[in-house]
Structure 1
C-alpha cells in the first residue's frame, strides 16, 4: 500500500470516520473512499450498501472486479448517570461489543468501585463531551432523570447525529423535556429521534431488566440503521 494512502487511512480511523478501501483486482490499483468523496465515486451505490451492512465484499465481474474493504468505527455507548441501571447495563453492553463509558458529575456515584473495568468521567456533560467526542457511531443513554445533567448531553447527541439517543422518564417527563429542548433551539425532527421512555417495551421492572430493554433497543437502532442505509440504495 502506498504510504500516502496509508497515512490518509489512519487519519480517517483516528477521526472515527467510516471509509472503504477499494482494490481493483486487475492491476491492484487502490483508492480510499471517504464520506467526503463517496458521492463522486463510480461505485457510490455499492459503496453505500457495503457501508450500510458494515461488511467487506467483492463486486463487479471480469476486469471490473474490485474488493471493497469496509472500515466502520466500533460502536460506543456513553451512559449519562452512574445509577443502578447503569451498573447492570455497562457489563452487558461490553459483552455485546460496545465501548462503554459512564459520565456523571455526581462523584459520590461515579466511582471506579461501582463501575469496575469501565471508564468513569466525573464531570458535567458540557465540560466532558468535547474531549470524549460523541459521533454518529455513539449511543447516548441518559439515565439520571435530572434535566441539568441529561439534557445538555441529549442536545449534543442530537446535534452530532448519534445513532441512538435514549432518555429515562415517563411520557409526562419526556413531554416537559421536549418543551425545554425545543425552547433551546433543537429542531422537532431531531427531538423526535429520542427514544423515550427508554428501552423496548418488555414490561421491565428491575434495574437489570430495564438495562436489558435499553441494550436491546440500542442494538436494534444500530442494526436497523445499517439495514435502512442499505435499503436506501437498493
Structure 2
C-alpha cells in the first residue's frame, strides 16, 4: 500500500469515518474512497453495498477485478445515566460487540464498583461529549436518568449527529414534555421524531434487567434494519459540536 494512502486510512479510522481502499488486482490503480464520496465513484453500487455489509472482498466491474478493503467504525453505545438498567445493559451490550460508554455527572452512581470494566465519564453530557470521540451514525445513545438536565443535552446532541439509534426512558406523558423542551431548543419535528420513547421494544418489561433486554433489542434492530451508508445518507454528515 502507498504510504500516503496508509496515512489517510489511519486518519479516517481515528476519526471514526468509514472508508474503502480500492485496489485493482492487476496492480495498476489504488485509491481511498471516503464514505461521503462513495455515491459519486465509478464503482458506486459495489462500494455502497460493501459499506452497508461492512465486509471486504473482490468485485468484478466492466471486466476489471478490484479488491475492496472496507473500514467501518465499530458500533458503540453511549448510555446516559449510571442507573440500575445501565448495570444490566452495559455487560449485555458488550457481549454483542458494542463499545459501551456511560456518562453520568453523579459520582455516587458512576463508580467502577457498580460498573466494572465499563468506560465511565463522570461529567455532565455537555462536557463529556466534547472529550469523547464525536457522536456519529455508528453510535447509539440511550438516555436513562429521567432527569432532563442530564438527558436532554445528550439527546439533542445525538439527534443532531444522526446517531443510528436515540432512545429515552420515560412514560408517554414524560415524553410529551420532553418533545416540548427539545422543540423549544430549536430541534425540528423531523429530528425529534427519530427519538425512540418510551425506550425499548414493547415486551412487557418490568424489572431493570428486562428493560435492558428491551433496549438492547431495539438498538440491535435499528443497527440491522438499515446499513450505515443508508443512515449517513438519510441523516447527513452533521456531527455534534461542543
Tell me the equivalent position of 2:91: 91
1:74-223 alignment runs, 5 A limit: 74-132=74-132, 133-223=134-224
- Shift of residue 61 of structure 1? 5.2
Q: Give the conservation status (yes or no) of the 8 Å contact 2:89–2:209.
A: yes
- Residues 169, 197 of structure 1: 8 Å contact kept: yes
SS of match in other structure, 2:22: strand
Distance in 1 of aligned mates of 2:36 and 2:120? 34
Question: Within 5 A, what are the aligned runs for 1:7-18?
Answer: 7-18=7-18
TM-score, scaled to structure 2: 0.91
* Residues 61 and 180 of structure 1, relative CA distance in 2, 3 Å threshold: closer
Alpha-carbon contact 1:52-1:229 (below 8 Å) kept: yes
Would the aligned equivalents of 1:25 and 1:63 in 2 still touch at CA under 8 Å?
A: no
Gaps of 5+ in 2: 234-242
Alignment CA distance shift 1:79-1:108 (3 Å): same
The TM-score normalised by the length of structure 1 is 0.94
Q: Deviations over 1:66-98 (max 9, x none)?
A: 121111000111100000000000000001101
Aligned-partner Cα distance in 1 for 2:222–2:216: 10
Change (3 A) 1:124 1:161: same
Q: Which residue of 1 aligns with 2:230?
A: 229
Q: Are the structure 2 counterparts of residues 28 and 213 from structure 1 closer, same or farther at C-alpha, using a change threshold of 3 Å?
A: farther
Residue deviations 1:111-153 (CA, integer Å, cap 9, x gap): 1110000011111011110111222211101000011100000
Instruction: Please give the secondary structure, in 2, of the residue aligned with 1:177.
Output: helix
Contact kept in structure 1, 2:138 and 2:228, CA below 8 Å:
no
Question: Secondary structure of the residue that 2:6 maps to in structure 1?
Answer: helix
Q: Which runs of 5+ in 1 are unaligned?
A: none
Give the paired residue count. Answer: 231
Deviation, 1:30, is: 1.4
What is aligned with 2:25?
A: 25
Q: C-alpha deviations, 1:8-44, integer Å up to 9, x for none?
A: 1001001000011111112352111002432331011
